[in-house]
Chains A and B, each alone.
Chain A
């Protein structure tokens, strides 16, 4: 089943190159089948426990290690479902937006690289996935045409630099231990200067790729320049890949002392991302930049949770980390699709074009507001679940008043930038007239993930339990 999850997108991508005319159908078909398979895999794994396997039957140490646990399966499912949704959106708007043919094979490759990344437990294989992911992402950004060349090139250079740093770390470890599977490395791990520097190098590269503060500078331009479906994929999924590896490194490889030493740095960076990202989102005059800065801020939650997890080693905080990621992926996809739809129809990139959108495009605006509710963390959305888990984890530690306070501040900031848009949409003084009559189907497609993130409430208890077990 896992093999099929990898082979199907690859085969689909190759077929698309041969037969471009049916590319959209192929992409949708493969995403649909993958969603179904991923769901099956998730059910199987949550019932029978984590599955490991070594590629091609080589002995451990030589072969590439793979592992499917509940977290990986959840992420695979998320990837496939979002791919399907965004595919539908791109298909529904193809007549209007003139998205290049290149989108379809690239999006299938994106799915392939992400699925492989969630499953790999081998540092070099992770590097390969990461590299493929970055190249595909850069190509997708550049689909926007000339205006996107500069941000895309910027993204490419920084991403290559990040990959190099990561690779350097991998090489150091390989030189010292002669193996790269994570399980094997853990058993021989020594906290010393060499592993310290390897960890730091890899983290630097990964933080750059995941746009974690203070290395987030490239993200707003790149995500804002891309076409709406691409921004949705980039913000929802692509930045989460490096974050996943970062968590693997620090939560599984690093020794307790190393983790303890790094914890305040991550927590601090997360907090700074929340504050600066939120502040920038409040200030920017462009609609898509606002959503992109909100991604920077929301990634701060994940970084903060990682830092606190390293510090307190509290399973609830780990659950909070991945709940943030899941909720953010769905909410952000909805935000980007809704904003893309609105600025496309109302004609303008500035935030002020959204004036009166609650009248002219109520559905898309509703989608943005609903998704924004989860970004703020209003109950019972997915964002609330994550925040609740984090708060519970924090209150379980004695004398922790600073972090809850910081969370309150960050939440207020996110509420401020979400409602900055919503209030503008209720401005009835002189609403911006649409350039053409708004399409209904794409607006519904934008609403779908927003509703899904609120529907996470229905699965809150199993989700929390599964993710909490994953941390042990």
Chain B
């Protein structure tokens, strides 16, 4: 492999989903086979490319591709350990979600448009993961907003349109705040590449106030997508979207884009030292901790399955932010690994919710009684993911909470430890009753709208397979956490690189 070819690898990874997406837009509704083939081709190519990059980055290489854009801020695509964490997550889950969406949307109208935007959305997410400086990040952040909007309003119903309006109002304002913050920071220190340890330390003493303002603006901008406390309002409402979209929004694309941006901002723009000098970590941590408790608390009160999952997302994503804001290596491992673990667990839960809705017509929690007997595989997957969310070993969720807890102890944050314990209890309080209903309560009357989607299986195989795949991943990531291929070992590698810059 020539180095020339390798330097285009980040671009190729983005194009591998962008190009099929653009072609899919031009297809007619009836060209189902071609569309599926294009989708799967894109996924496969992307996974192969990501694998190549993964091998190289593990060996210590850093990929770099840039085109001139603004003075002092090129458009940079950069493949380092941290970006790869997010790229791998989104490509693997894209595979699962694509298969699920093909099954879910079978025979529904406007599928070309749906899959076109779906591919654009993944391209934007991967671009965001690979972006090498703040300006490129901003660009993909806005593109992500634009690509997800048509997915949110896909059903075209009044509720969907209202949710879409709200989603836009939140995310565009967020993007704008981010833009203002990025522009302010650019005027102080330009926008060089992301680098472990950050690049603002030279002006910390001179422009402390402006740096704090820029950080606040950018966190507010990113906080909209990451659903930090006062800015979370769009997320529960965006639940009207089709299940694969919710899965994608919650597990991979939108909320993770915000969380990933916060990680980049804290470690690679400001850096741990400057964060401490400017006293920025403490407020961020407290805000995120409040969000954790608030989300869990609100989730308790929801009777709609997807709404409960939505509030749970609000809470769970803030674990990442807390882990990052504690500024210790162990806490960072916990936060980063939760980015992956939460993604896999939440996508499983949404697949399950989609299966219940598609097969049985069940949307409310109190209609789930006895569903375990009718749909055992789905219910097993749901149970595994729910236990993971609570943090019970040997699931993946346990690993991330364990490291978060260790991190809290290591950085002397006994308050955070309390938050984790209390939130864990709340998680149990809103997930365990569902599990109980699934398995131990008798079915109460007929299902609201039952469909036979398969002769032998409990539902369509395309709805089952991705869900089982991610459910197995949850267990595997927990059991094999200490091996070299686990997300945990990868995050340890990242943290090693992030914290050993000097």
* A interface with B by C-beta (< 8 Å): 356, 358-359, 362, 373, 376-380, 385, 387-388, 391-392, 395-396, 404, 407-408, 411-412, 415-416, 419, 422-423, 426-429, 457, 460-461, 464-465
The 5 A-B residue pairs with the shortest CB-CB distance, nearest first, are: A428-B156, A395-B187, A391-B183, A379-B139, A426-B153
State which of B64-72, B276-284, B303-311, B350-358 sits at the interface with chain A. B64-72
Which residues from chain A contact B138 at a C-beta distance below 8 Å? 379
B456 within 8 A of A: no
B176 touches A408 (CB 8 A): yes
B146 within 8 A of A: yes
A380 touches B75 (CB 8 A): yes
Q: How far is the CB of A358 from chain B (nearest CB, A)?
A: 8
Give A377's nearest chain B residue, CB to CB.
B179
With A380-B69, A380-B139 in contact, is A428–B155 under 8 Å at CB?
A: yes
From A429, A460, A461, B156 is in contact (CB under 8 Å) with A429
Q: How far is the CB of A468 from chain B (nearest CB, A)?
A: 9
From B153, B155, B175, A423 is in contact (CB under 8 Å) with B153
Q: How far, in angstroms, from A408 to B135 measured CA to CA in the complex?
A: 18
From A376, A378, A388, B70 is in contact (CB under 8 Å) with A388
With A379-B142, A408-B176, A412-B176 in contact, is A461–B168 under 8 Å at CB?
A: no
B residues 143-161 with Cβ under 8 Å of A? 143, 146, 149-150, 153, 155-158, 161
Q: How far, in angstroms, from A407 to B149 measured CA to CA in the complex?
A: 24
Which residues from chain A contact B75 at a C-beta distance below 8 Å? 380
B70 touches A464 (CB 8 A): yes
A426 touches B164 (CB 8 A): yes
B172 within 8 A of A: yes
Give B156's nearest chain A residue, CB to CB.
A428
Which residues from chain B contact A422 at a C-beta distance below 8 Å? 149
From B142, B157, B187, B188, A378 is in contact (CB under 8 Å) with B142
Give A464's nearest chain B residue, CB to CB.
B71
Which residues from chain B contact A396 at a C-beta distance below 8 Å? 187
From A373, A376, A408, A464, B180 is in contact (CB under 8 Å) with A408
Which residues from chain A contact B184 at a C-beta distance below 8 Å? 391, 395, 404
Which residues from chain A contact B172 at a C-beta distance below 8 Å? 376, 412, 415, 419
Which residues from chain A contact B161 at a C-beta distance below 8 Å? 423, 426-427
Q: How far is the CB of B155 from chain A (nearest CB, A)?
A: 7
B residues 69-104 with Cβ under 8 Å of A? 69-71, 75
B186 within 8 A of A: yes
With A429-B156, A461-B69, A461-B71 in contact, is A408–B177 under 8 Å at CB?
A: yes
Which residues from chain A contact B146 at a C-beta distance below 8 Å? 373, 378
Q: How far, in angstroms, from A392 to B169 measured CA to CA in the complex?
A: 25
Q: How far is the CB of B190 from chain A (nearest CB, A)?
A: 10
Give A409's nearest chain B residue, CB to CB.
B176
Q: How far is the CB of B23 from chain A (nearest CB, A)?
A: 15
10 contacts between A and B (CB under 8 A): A373-B146, A380-B139, A387-B179, A388-B70, A408-B177, A412-B172, A416-B169, A423-B161, A423-B165, A426-B153
Which residues from chain B contact A362 at a C-beta distance below 8 Å? 113
Q: How far, in angstroms, from A423 to B160 measured CA to CA in the complex?
A: 10
Which residues from chain B contact A407 at a C-beta distance below 8 Å? 180
Q: How far is the CB of A387 from chain B (nearest CB, A)?
A: 8
Chain B, interface size: which category? 35 or more
Q: How far, in angstroms, from A407 to B186 measured CA to CA in the complex?
A: 17
Q: How far is the CB of B35 from chain A (nearest CB, A)?
A: 16
B107 within 8 A of A: no
* B interface with A by C-beta (< 8 Å): 68-71, 75, 110, 113, 135, 138-139, 142-143, 146, 149-150, 153, 155-158, 161, 164-165, 168-169, 172-173, 175-177, 179-180, 183-184, 186-188
Give B184's nearest chain A residue, CB to CB.
A395
Give A459's nearest chain B residue, CB to CB.
B68
With A380-B69, A461-B71 in contact, is A359–B110 under 8 Å at CB?
A: yes
Q: A379-B138, A419-B165 are in contact. List 4 more A-B contacts (CB 8 A).
A: A356-B156, A358-B150, A388-B70, A423-B153
Which residues from chain A contact B188 at a C-beta distance below 8 Å? 395
Q: How far, in angstroms, from A378 to B146 measured CA to CA in the complex?
A: 10
Which residues from chain A contact B139 at a C-beta distance below 8 Å? 379-380
A411 touches B183 (CB 8 A): no
Give B112's nearest chain A residue, CB to CB.
A362
Q: How far, in angstroms, from A412 to B177 measured CA to CA in the complex?
A: 11
Q: Which of A362, A419, A428 has the most CB of B within 10 A?
A: A428
Give B168's nearest chain A residue, CB to CB.
A419
Give A419's nearest chain B residue, CB to CB.
B168
Which residues from chain B contact A429 at a C-beta distance below 8 Å? 156-158
Q: How far, in angstroms, from A411 to B174 measured CA to CA in the complex?
A: 12
Q: How far, in angstroms, from A42 to B146 measured CA to CA in the complex?
A: 35
Q: How far, in angstroms, from A129 to B113 measured CA to CA in the complex?
A: 48
Q: How far, in angstroms, from A404 to B173 measured CA to CA in the complex?
A: 14
Q: How far is the CB of A142 from chain B (nearest CB, A)?
A: 39
A415 touches B168 (CB 8 A): yes
Q: How far, in angstroms, from A73 to B139 measured CA to CA in the complex?
A: 30
Which residues from chain A contact B150 at a C-beta distance below 8 Å? 358, 426
With A380-B75, A388-B183, A392-B183 in contact, is A460–B173 under 8 Å at CB?
A: no
B153 touches A457 (CB 8 A): no
Which residues from chain B contact A395 at a C-beta distance below 8 Å? 183-184, 186-188
Q: How far is the CB of B332 from chain A (nearest CB, A)?
A: 29
Which residues from chain B contact A385 at a C-beta distance below 8 Å? 70
Q: How far is the CB of B342 from chain A (nearest CB, A)?
A: 28
Q: How far, in angstroms, from A465 to B173 measured CA to CA in the complex?
A: 30
Q: How far, in angstroms, from A385 to B138 measured CA to CA in the complex?
A: 13
A412 touches B173 (CB 8 A): yes
Q: How far, in angstroms, from A356 to B113 measured CA to CA in the complex?
A: 14
Which residues from chain B contact A356 at a C-beta distance below 8 Å? 156
Which residues from chain B contact A391 at a C-beta distance below 8 Å? 179-180, 183-184, 187
Q: How far, in angstroms, from A457 to B73 measured CA to CA in the complex?
A: 12
Which residues from chain A contact B157 at a C-beta distance below 8 Å? 428-429
Q: How far, in angstroms, from A422 to B138 measured CA to CA in the complex?
A: 22
Q: How far, in angstroms, from A457 to B70 measured CA to CA in the complex?
A: 8
Q: How far, in angstroms, from A422 to B165 measured CA to CA in the complex?
A: 10
Which residues from chain B contact A359 at a C-beta distance below 8 Å? 110
B180 touches A461 (CB 8 A): no
Q: How far is the CB of A315 from chain B (nearest CB, A)?
A: 12
Which residues from chain B contact A416 at a C-beta distance below 8 Å? 169
From B156, B168, B175, A427 is in contact (CB under 8 Å) with B156
Q: How far is the CB of B339 from chain A (nearest CB, A)?
A: 25
Which residues from chain A contact B149 at a C-beta distance below 8 Å? 422
Q: How far is the CB of A178 from chain B (nearest CB, A)?
A: 44
B156 touches A426 (CB 8 A): yes
Q: How far, in angstroms, from A465 to B68 measured CA to CA in the complex?
A: 13
A461 touches B176 (CB 8 A): no
B186 touches A460 (CB 8 A): no
Q: How far, in angstroms, from A419 to B169 measured CA to CA in the complex?
A: 9
Q: How far is the CB of B191 from chain A (nearest CB, A)?
A: 11
Q: How far is the CB of B179 from chain A (nearest CB, A)?
A: 8
Which residues from chain B contact A461 at a C-beta distance below 8 Å? 68-71
Which residues from chain A contact B155 at a C-beta distance below 8 Å? 428
Q: How far, in angstroms, from A427 to B173 measured CA to CA in the complex?
A: 23
From B70, B142, B187, A460 is in contact (CB under 8 Å) with B70
With A396-B187, A461-B70 in contact, is A404–B110 under 8 Å at CB?
A: no
Which residues from chain A contact B110 at a C-beta distance below 8 Å? 359, 428
Q: How far is the CB of B174 from chain A (nearest CB, A)?
A: 11
